Structure 1
Amino acid sequence: MTRIGTSDLDVLPLSLGGNVFGWTADRDTSFAVLDAFVDGGGDFIDTADSYSSWAPGNEGGESETIVGEWLASRRPAGVVVATKVSQHPKFRGLAASNVRKAAEASLARLGVDEIDLYYAHFDDETVPLEETVAAFGQLVEDGLVRHIAVSNYSADRIREWIEIARRTGAALPVAVQPHYNLVHRNEVEDTIIPVAEEFGLGLVPYYSLASGFLTGKYRSTDVEGQSSPRAHGAAKYATPAGLRVIDALQEIGDVHDASIAATSLAWLRAQPTVVAPIASARNVDQVPDLLAGARLELSDDEVHRLNQVSEWTPART
């Protein structure tokens, strides 16, 4: 088990992404995935109020609703649920009144009295940060939220949030959620991890498997005929440099009888301040690899080799 930053939340070091629930995984499939995840020892679920508003016919909140119905039907003990605010079509931005209304709507969909971990999903510079910090702090004071966190914030804005919270006595963030994986490293390692180390924040990276590229499924930039909604996002990494990363993951994984995906997650877990990579599963068959990634321990030499082979990243081009 791993502690999320300075919070009292201890979790298996893997977060199940709920972005597919109500999108590429229907209700029954989502329930099956959640069952398999918890049966395998998982206890940390990540969702957002906006999931999956982008899908035709959806309006946002579908993922939270499915998670809430699953929680109500299964009543699992010790499961930590994280959700986010700022992107729901009806609750955009981080004005204080909006944060409150969005949190109340998320609580209703999830069917819980308190959100374990509540993220500011994207920075909203149209609203004074003091107002947002105070709004999140009030949610904690009122018992609607247990801990707060930020997602997609710059290092400077994280520092500013913490300075305001300390000065005003508001709740401090305990986690940060950045885009981070073996083929997207530079910005996080150069700016976010140092801030996380300084303030005791736990990193909960999203796109941990680079939209599926780090499963080894995509070995060509040609996605013609691919039906997956994520194919284009994954295939862009299938350059010679990116495929060298996949080859190294394959070789290291073979030593441990582990998949490319599990090995990639294990590398991410080995990075400073990383608590629990987020990875989603569209079906039950994908869950065991994710859980294996939460338990696989790579040697220092294996981590070093992956560090070296992945020094290339599209962010540098």
Structure 2
Amino acid sequence: MAGITKKIGDLDVFPLSLGGNVFGWTADRDTSYRVLDAYTAAGGDFIDTADAYSAWVEGNRGGESEEIIGAWMEARRNRGDVVIGTKVGASPDRRGLSPANIKGAVEDSLRRLRTDYIDLYYTHRDDPSVPVEDIMTSLDGLVRDGKVREIAVSNIEPERLQASLEFSEREGLARYAAIQPHYNLVSRDTYEGPRMDLARRYGLAAVPYYALASGFLTGKYRPGADVDSQRAGKAGEYLKSERGQRVLAALDAVAGERGASVASVAVAWLAAQPTVVAPLASARTVEQLQPLLDAVRLDLSSEDVARLTEASA
């Protein structure tokens, strides 16, 4: 799959971002290395993490994922061959987006990642207590200092996003190049509407998270199925809705006709949506990774996309 790239600002990225939220959680260090090796061997280079991953695990503080990725890059000597996206604002030790917190958090992430620059630096969650002017000025300083190449945003209300973009343009500061929204076949209004409109207007690249709806869109959650997963509860909720059942039926039909997996079709649908540059999905084993990679080569017809869009309405 080498040679398949998309653009985020000045960054060239593989059109599937590998989620690092499982590293240090459901994937230990050795398993994480195997997944990372398999992803890069297939041509992948766009790895996503956050300073908060995985603080929700008992005994973890956050930063475990960054540490694993940093050690892996050092062992493989491939820092220049991968695009690393990480985030600030949600770690228990570095919560919020005050200028002082951003300044401290980026240094912590650089240390854990064993690098002197971050390719794509997201605000993980907006902090309404801090004026957008202060946030954008702080992020611009990181770019000017060479610690960050491009900046991006994840969970934010449209009004604050627009104010941030307008301030950056007015003052000639670094501007968000990407948005990472919650978006998939069973969660569309979390992005479609004002956020997508702003992404189109300002040329933001979308890197949607929960591409597989916590595993529901892999097709493994069916009535009566017993799935051993940390996310089974959340994914199982989709199965109870009429919409979830419609989406599964449409995915089954398209997957059968295309000779593809349900997960591949779900990710390919996401990749076909306006503004989306690289769907984001994680894999806790090499076996789970393959359907995600297959989605990159899966070219759905306009009829396929329309059928899935209608089923998920």
Give the shorter-chain TM-score range.
over 0.9
Give the superposition deviation at 1:164. Answer: 1.1
Q: Deviations over 1:90-116 (max 9, x none)?
A: 111000010011001000100111100
Paired residues for 1:245-264 under 5 Å:
245-264=247-266
Q: 1:202 aligns with which of 199, 202, 205?
A: 205
Of the three residues 45, 62, 65, the one matched with 2:47 is 45
Task: Give me the TM-score of the superposition, normalised by structure 2.
Answer: 0.96
SS in 2 for 1:305: helix
Distance 2:10 2:81 in 1: 12
CA contact (8 A) 1:114 1:146 kept: yes
Amino acid of the structure 1 residue aligned with 2:202: F
Kept in 2: contact 1:219–1:243 (CA 8 A): no
User: d(CA) in 2 for partners of 1:200 and 1:79?
Assistant: 23
Structure 1 residue 269 and structure 2 residue 271: aligned?
yes
Question: SS of 1:52's equivalent?
Answer: coil
Identity %: 53
Match of residue 56 from structure 2: 54
- 1: CA distance, partners of 2:105 / 2:202: 27
Q: 1:216 aligns with which of 210, 216, 219?
A: 219
Q: Is the 8 A contact 1:12 1:294 kept in 2?
A: no
Q: In the alignment, is the contact (CA less than 8 A) between 2:221 and 2:227 conserved in 1?
A: no
Q: Is 1:193 matched with 2:196?
A: yes
> Helix, strand or coil for the counterpart of 2:294?
helix
User: Which residue of 148, 172, 177 maps to 1:174?
Assistant: 177
1:123-164 superposed Cα distances (whole Å, 9 cap, x missing partner): 001111111111100000000000000001122111100111
Provide the residue aligned with 2:234 in structure 1. Answer: 233
After superposition, residues 32-111 of structure 1 pair within 5 angstroms as 32-76=34-78, 77-111=80-114
Residues of 1 paired with 2:6 and 2:230: CA distance? 33
TM-align CA RMSD = 1.3
For the residues of structure 2 that align with 1:199 and 1:2, how far apart are their CA atoms?
21
* TM-score normalised by the chain length of structure 1: 0.94
Question: Which amino acid is the alignment partner of residue 261 of structure 2?
Answer: S
Q: Give the letter for the 2:233 counterpart.
A: H
Q: Is the 8 A contact 1:17 1:280 kept in 2?
A: yes
1:314 aligned partner: none
Q: Alignment partner of 2:125: what SS?
A: coil
Of residues 235-244 and 270-279 in structure 1, the stretch that sits farther from structure 2 once superposed is: 235-244
| Matching of residue 135 in structure 1 with residue 144 in structure 2 | no
Residues 33-70 of structure 1 show CA distances to partners (whole Å, capped at 9, x for unaligned) of: 00011111111000000000000110100000000000
Residue from 273, 287, 300 that aligns with 2:302: 300
1:298 partner amino acid: L
Indicate if the aligned counterparts of 1:4 and 1:175 stay in contact, CA closer than 8 A.
no
How far off its partner does 1:248 sit? 1.1
What one-letter code is carried by the residue in structure 2 that aligns with 1:172? Answer: R
Report the secondary structure of 1:236's partner residue: helix
Which structure 1 residue ranges, 5 or more long, are not aligned? 312-317
State whether residues 17 and 279 of structure 2, in contact with CA within 8 Å, keep that contact through their aligned partners in structure 1: yes
Q: More deviation in 226-235 or 256-265?
A: 226-235
The one-letter amino acid of 1:114's match is Y
Give the Cα separation in 1 of the matches to 2:197 and 2:255. 29
1:280 aligns with 2:272: no
Corresponding letter in the other structure for 1:92: R
Q: Which amino acid aligns with 1:230?
A: R
**CA distance in structure 2 between the partners assigned to 1:113 and 1:276 by the alignment:** 25
- What's 1:315 paired with? none
Supply the distance in 1 between the matched residues of 2:227 and 2:264 (Cα, whole angstroms): 23
User: Is the 2:220–2:227 contact (alpha carbons within 8 Å) kept by the matching residues of 1?
Assistant: no
Q: How many residues align?
A: 308
Give the aligned residue type for 2:229. Answer: S
- Which of 133, 148, 152 in structure 2 is aligned with 1:149? 152
Partner residue in 2 for 1:9: 11
Structure 1 residue aligned with 2:312: 310
Match of 1:20 in 2: 22
Tell whether the 8 Å contact from 1:81 to 1:116 is kept in structure 2 after alignment.
yes
Question: Which whole-Å deviations, capped at 9, do the CAs of 1:236-280 have from their partners, x for residues lacking one?
Answer: 100332122112112211222210000000000000000101100
Equivalent position of 2:129 in the other structure: 126
